[in-house]
Structure 1
Amino acid sequence: MVALERHADLPLRPDYTLDQPRHLYSAEDHAVWRLLFQRQARLLPGRACGEFLAGLRGLGVAAAHDDGGGVPDFERLSDLLDRATGWRIVAVPGLVPDEVFFGHLAERRFPATWWLRRRDQIDYLQEPDVFHDIYGHVPLLMNPVFADYMQAYGRGGLKAMRLNALHRLARLYWYTVEFGLIETPEGLRIYGSGILSSKGESVFCLESAAPNRLRFDLRRIMRTKYRIDTYQKTYFVIRSFAELFEATRPDFAPIYAALEAEPDLGAADVIEGDAVIARGTLDAREGGWESGRADV
């Protein structure tokens, strides 16, 4: 693994980007990437949405470029992405300030962490690494509708910061971009990057009886807390990316104002008015929910 703290001296630009330090990837890093990739490649057919799988093929991530299979070259991927939807990938050292993150998205630049987890972190890493960002997020940016949604989200984030409503928009990102499900003629499929890059949650979100699966509702999501340390207690399901984009097209300022009078909801709550696709058993043993950590 290329540990972030060991390379704090890498030169950063004012927008927190840097040139992807490909020379720092070790043979072990490339081997870990291959392991993660091959594991998800076996799991995701029949579970991931078609748009994600098409994006993965279009980017050629499976070919893994000139190194025989390993961490992809951001510039090569950016050139393909740019031709498809006008997006590019920019390397960042990890999590960046909110205004920087939203600013990049608003300009159709996706900030991707450049370093990769260690082999002993293969099943769980709390902060995003290059596998989560590139494998989980980037393929859907090949889809024009989802690409436009992400740019709109970036613009909305800058506005939410001015309105002190960032927690509302963070919940939308969490329950769509990171942990969203989509309804297809073949059944529910995954489009959220946090699931797509996770072996365990790729199976859990669709096949476990534990979590709730509710129909997408913008205001409902903005009231709903979430967990960052376990599988999700509730997944929200969209009918299409067009539905998602249309639901988020209006000005959110009146919505934020109206929600100030509404109480927050817990991650496991099911309330009157929810369109329930499947009500979960909320079996803590399946979801890893025993810790008692508060929702955020």
Structure 2
Amino acid sequence: MNTANGSDDPRDYIRDQGFENYTETDHATWRTLAKRQREILKGRIADQFLEGLERLGIGEEGIPDFRVMNQRLKAATGWEVMAVPGLIPDLAFFRMLANRQFPAGFWIRKPEQLDYIEEPDIFHDVFGHVPLIMQPIYADYLESYGKAGLVAAEHGALKYLARLYWYTVEFGLAQTPQGMRIVGAGIASSPGETIFALESPSPNRVAFDLGRVMRTLYRIDDYQETYFVLDGVEAWPSLDIDRLIPLWKELEGQGEIEPGQIQPEDRILTQGDGSYHRAKSKTAA
């Protein structure tokens, strides 16, 4: 979820992508990232994600032109990708999603930043997020999320929406007939986390539960200690406001859960051994 200070009006952040301004180095960086990531995602990402890449024409040729991509996206689900200069304030972000507009940074990382950047760039935002927006159920979920965010802001519940976004849109997994697959953009755009999320013995993999997810803290600087697994690629949670408001009140009295903690009521799919983060903490010490 985005966070920044400034105006809450999305119009203050929308820019022209400036497609003609990308250099050959920029396009080469995209090609390197896309080729590498598509190889790593084989057999690990939900089929619907790969279908979205193909239908949108997001490939290895270079940075996509939003004008071309949006024609296909709008025809499929009524969504558009809007170029923004970086992270935008929460309310502006929610309003864009509620209006079926997905904010995407239009700059791309430098060649020496292939493996890690602090702030999401066009590769993360477009390659990672946009393919699933071609799926009507996911597109509806994002719109509902934006509307729920606007209500959460009025009820002091933004932290719950931030956690939900993190553990679904960014770092979600889902059960499929072929096995567990990636649906989160933060994983889908990261070569290291693509493998870690599915194959490492370190993290917990826990069946998705809305209240549990909203109570759970997350890591912004490293791989996740717990991943939540949807029952299917189309099993995005219902965000009915009449249900959410009582849930937020209920959660206020329950306290927060640390990222790696297992709860007695969890339906555990894989209990992690915590080896990765334990080793990292020893190194840091």
Q: TM-score, normalised by structure 1?
A: 0.89
Alignment pair present for 1:227 and 2:224: no
- Please name the residue that 1:42 is paired with: 39
Shift of 1:286: 8.3
Q: Deviations over 1:10-66 (max 9, x none)?
A: xx984310010123211111110000000011111100001111111111111x6xx
Summarize the alignment of residues 142-291 of structure 1 with structure 2, pairs less than 5 Å apart. 142-246=134-238, 248-251=239-242, 252-284=244-276, 288=280
Q: Over aligned residue pairs, what C-alpha RMSD do you find?
A: 1.9
- Give 1:277's aligned amino acid: L
- Give 1:43's aligned amino acid: I
| Matches of 1:136 and 1:178, distance apart in 2 | 9
| Matches of 2:191 and 2:138, distance apart in 1 | 23
| Matches of 1:165 and 1:290, distance apart in 2 | 35
User: Cα 1:82–1:290, aligned 2, differ >3 Å: closer, same or farther?
Assistant: farther
Shift of 1:290: 5.5
Shift of 1:285: 5.6
Q: Deviations over 1:206-254 (max 9, x none)?
A: 11000000000000000000000000000000012443233x3353111
| Matches of 1:263 and 1:181, distance apart in 2 | 25
| Matches of 2:262 and 2:277, distance apart in 1 | 20
Counting matched residue pairs gives 276
Q: Deviations over 1:111-138 (max 9, x none)?
A: 0100001111111112110000000000
- Please name the residue that 1:93 is paired with: 85
| Matches of 2:195 and 2:130, distance apart in 1 | 21
Structure 1, gaps ≥5 residues long: 1-11
User: Cα 1:289–1:94, aligned 2, differ >3 Å: closer, same or farther?
Assistant: farther
User: Cα 1:41–1:107, aligned 2, differ >3 Å: closer, same or farther?
Assistant: same
- Please name the residue that 1:24 is paired with: 21
- Give 1:260's aligned amino acid: E
| Matches of 1:35 and 1:146, distance apart in 2 | 28
For the Cα contact (< 8 Å) 1:20–1:114, is it kept in 2? yes
Q: Deviations over 1:135-156 (max 9, x none)?
A: 0000000000000000000001
Q: TM-score, normalised by structure 2?
A: 0.93
State percent identity of aligned pairs. 47
Alignment pair present for 1:110 and 2:110: no
Alignment pair present for 1:15 and 2:12: yes
| Matches of 1:18 and 1:287, distance apart in 2 | 43
- Please name the residue that 2:51 is paired with: 54
| Matches of 1:284 and 1:77, distance apart in 2 | 39
| Matches of 2:65 and 2:280, distance apart in 1 | 35
User: Cα 1:34–1:242, aligned 2, differ >3 Å: closer, same or farther?
Assistant: closer
User: Cα 1:290–1:180, aligned 2, differ >3 Å: closer, same or farther?
Assistant: farther
User: Cα 1:73–1:59, aligned 2, differ >3 Å: closer, same or farther?
Assistant: same
Q: Deviations over 1:235-280 (max 9, x none)?
A: 000012443233x335311111111100100000001000000000
- Give 1:42's aligned amino acid: E
Question: Any idea what SS the aligned residue of 1:61 has?
Answer: coil
- Give 2:139's aligned amino acid: A
Question: Any idea what SS the aligned residue of 1:245 has?
Answer: coil
- Please name the residue that 2:4 is paired with: none
For the Cα contact (< 8 Å) 2:171–2:227, is it kept in 1? yes
For the Cα contact (< 8 Å) 1:181–1:236, is it kept in 2? yes
Question: Any idea what SS the aligned residue of 1:91 has?
Answer: strand
Q: Deviations over 1:160-192 (max 9, x none)?
A: 111111001100000000000000111100000
